[in-house]
Chains A and B, each alone.
Chain A
Amino acid sequence: MRGRPYRRRDARRPHGGADRLVPRVVSGLLVAVALAQAPARGEGEGRYGPLEPKDNEQVLIDNAGAYEERFAGRGYLYDSTEIGALVAAIGARLAPRPLDGYIRYRFRVLRDPEPGAFALPDGQVYLGTGLLAVLENEAQVAAVVAHEVQHAAGHHGILAYRSARRKTIASFALGPLTLGAADYFLMRSVMGYSRDLEEEADARGARALVKAGYDPRQMPRVFEVLLDDPEGERPAARSPKWSSHPELQARVAATRALVPGLLAGVDTAALRVGGDGYRRTVRGAALDTVRDLIDADYPRSAVALARRVVREDERSARAHLALGDALLALGARGTLEGEQAPTNREKRASLRARAWYTRSEREARRLETGEGRAVLDANLAAARAAYERALALAPDAAEAHRGLGYVHSNLDRPAEAGRHFVTYLKARPDADDRQAILNELKAINDSMKKGESR
């Protein structure tokens, strides 16, 4: 039955109806040309007055409440009173009075090593620990919050949904007429709309920043910080037209261009930046992020962040321990510091390998080359130095012995490795990684029994 319309048509026009194809192609091309002119930009614009969601948009508000529960139930919320209070205070300075009953601003921190932030249509604003860990001062956090608040205040989520829905319906009608070309322009238009809303949030956020007493010069700096890619796995979008966000370089330029106008007649000395105090406040979160980056297999980012924390507090044994753990996790991977940045092609290849091969398979492939082995030795030497520095600063830092155990184990020195593991196990009898260390020790015992030790 599903094929019947085609059978009917074929019966009427056994050769496929070529006489009808030409006008369809011509009309399709005309519509395509018209569309190509129209949605070069999405022409997205927020609505900052009250906005009643339509029936089919209410799901966005309902979902936002469900996501709030999900984040809590999955343990995503970051547990730090001090950082929570800081973000909430910044949010309170920047959030406008809600004009809709369904918007209630609340500002939360998610435990997420990715440097990101987002807002939901009901006024929830989330910042990731990975973002807080790399930002340099309170004004930069405020810039991010100001941007996200504009998304909620301008109802960007609802308007983007509404626009995409309208365009999808239009593509149903135009799709057959344009031989599918309408779908291409639909996607381009949806992305363009999203980019417009992002640009609007940047511009309005920068204005709100000044109004709240923060230095707007920190906003372009946020995008510069986000441009940093220590992992070498963030390829640029193939075309900016297919991205929901403007390119970071373009955002740096656009927000920098706004600054002179925003600072006209403003006493810049009175604007708040809050550098040192901020970095002290987020130090614990930065160290947690180092651990999270290691666990998520982003050791280059972990090393970069750990080195920064060490620079900020050279006397912290915990920071040196974190650096040692990050260097150890690098394995046979080199850091990209001082190296030529990988090309987009290499970045994509790296992402593909991450998706296809397990962590141990990728490490085994790196170790197949002499270069990989040399990199591993260098990383182990650096990790050893970091652990020894931690022990010099805090002789009871038993975790440094655990790290040294792994270093020696990788260097095929089982006796030394075993001694450090035993020291750790005796110092931390209730450590939750006891089983993992005992596994290492048993493997060492087995290899020594077999006479394989040197």
Chain B
Amino acid sequence: MNLRTTPSSRGVLAAVAAGALVLAGAATAAHAKGYMTPGFQAKTSRPMTLALLPPHAEVIKEKVVMTDDMPKEAAALEREAALALKAGLEAKGYSVRLITPEEVQQNAAARDLIKKVQERYDEEWGKILYKPKQVRDKRYQGGDQVLRLCALLKVQGLAVARVQAVGVSKGKATLRYFSSSSQPHSYARVDVGILEGKQGYVEAYFNGYENTSLGQILKKPALVMGQASGHALRKYPEAAEARMVEEAASDGDADEAADETAIRDFEVLTGGSKGTGGGN
């Protein structure tokens, strides 16, 4: 093998090195993080049946002059993220019911609850982003709406997803390159929160991040969402997997029989009280 470097071969070697750097960059340009309560890890408060609410996506196109919000492209990412997350969770052994925007429109009973769960999750998500580790301490609550919606949809928990995609246009990238400010950066990120249906806590939170390009965000939403969702679910435990965590012993006693005997137990404790005489 001739290793002498001629001008042309140096060019080839430089190209190969650059390619390797790009590949290395790509390898580190994706990440996955997950935070779970002890009960979630030990399966005592981990929902096995989930309703996946329609993801909310935001797509920003950074141009030289203005920054555009792209709701149409966001809708495409929402669709693809939902499909990718459903497939990913099912592959791990969970039963997933996908709630589509069409179902939200048609199901009047669920509509308001879904909207309120999403809004309450947004409120908590704003705090989770700053202190995700505190998910482990059950700091974040979805409220009674979570319990109501789970009862209505007959599932043990809810999966709520948020998608953020930022695409930098070529003009903006070039301008930033020459103005020597921070590197231009297109990316897609998928965040997934799991809300448990008996107490309403955010039991787990995962996120996946993938460096991408504006072209891929716009033209290949399935690919981009498949990658980012795959990263987000990487640390999600398999349905059969139960990690023994000490704190989980007192965590999440999701026992349906105990729920339904609560009325009888109370009446026994209070000497056969028949309630307050109201109702019908």
Contact = CB atoms under 8 A, between A and B. Distances in A.
B240 interface: no
Contacts of B74: 66, 70
B147 A420 contact: no
A421 B279 CA distance: 11
Contact of A423 (B56, B126, B269, B278): B278
A438 B262 contact: yes
Interface string B87-117: 0000000000000011011001001111110
A280 B243 CA distance: 57
Contacts of B241: none
A9 interface: no
A67 interface: yes
Given A75-B114, A75-B115, A425-B263, A435 B75 contact: no
B209 interface: no
B145 A295 contact: yes
A278 interface: no
A71 to B, nearest CB: 10
Interface string B135-154: 00001110111011011100
Contacts of B267: 422
B151 A434 contact: yes
Contact of B75 (A69, A168, A433): A69
A4 B200 CA distance: 56
A398 B66 contact: no
Sort chain A's interface into a size bin.
Answer: 35 or more
Contacts of A76: 115
B262 A441 contact: yes
Contact of B148 (A67, A75, A432): A432
Contact of B66 (A65, A161, A400, A418): A161
B279 A73 contact: no
B69 A63 contact: yes
B20 interface: no
Contact of A165 (B65, B119, B278): B65
Contacts of A438: 259-260, 262
B71 A63 contact: yes
Contacts of A439: 147, 198-199
Contacts of A6: 180
A419 B151 contact: no
B278 A391 contact: yes
Interface string B252-279: 0000001110110111011001011111
Contacts of A2: 177-178, 180
Contacts of B102: 73
Given A66-B71, A415-B270, A436-B148, A358 B127 contact: yes
A401 interface: yes
A72 B263 contact: no
Nearest to B113: A432
B197 interface: yes
Contact of A445 (B70, B101, B123, B262): B262
Interface in B9-61: 54, 56
Contacts of B178: 2
Interface of B: 54, 56, 65-66, 68-72, 74-75, 101-102, 104-105, 108, 111-116, 118-120, 123-124, 126-127, 139-141, 143-145, 147-148, 150-152, 177-178, 180, 197-200, 258-260, 262-263, 265-267, 269-270, 273, 275-280
Given A74-B118, A438-B262, 7 more contacts: A5-B180, A59-B70, A65-B72, A75-B112, A165-B65, A398-B280, A435-B259
Interface of A: 2-3, 5-6, 56, 59, 62-63, 65-67, 69-70, 72-76, 79, 111, 161, 164-165, 168-169, 172, 292, 295-297, 355-360, 391, 395-398, 400-401, 404, 415, 418-428, 432-436, 438-439, 441-442, 444-445, 448-449
* CB-CB nearest 10 A-B residue pairs: A427-B279, A73-B101, A423-B275, A66-B71, A75-B111, A432-B148, A66-B72, A2-B180, A435-B147, A441-B262
30 contacts: A6-B180, A59-B70, A62-B72, A63-B70, A66-B71, A70-B71, A73-B75, A74-B54, A168-B65, A358-B127, A359-B141, A396-B278, A398-B278, A401-B276, A422-B266, A423-B278, A424-B279, A425-B263, A427-B279, A427-B280, A428-B279, A433-B144, A435-B151, A436-B147, A436-B200, A438-B259, A441-B262, A442-B258, A442-B259, A444-B266
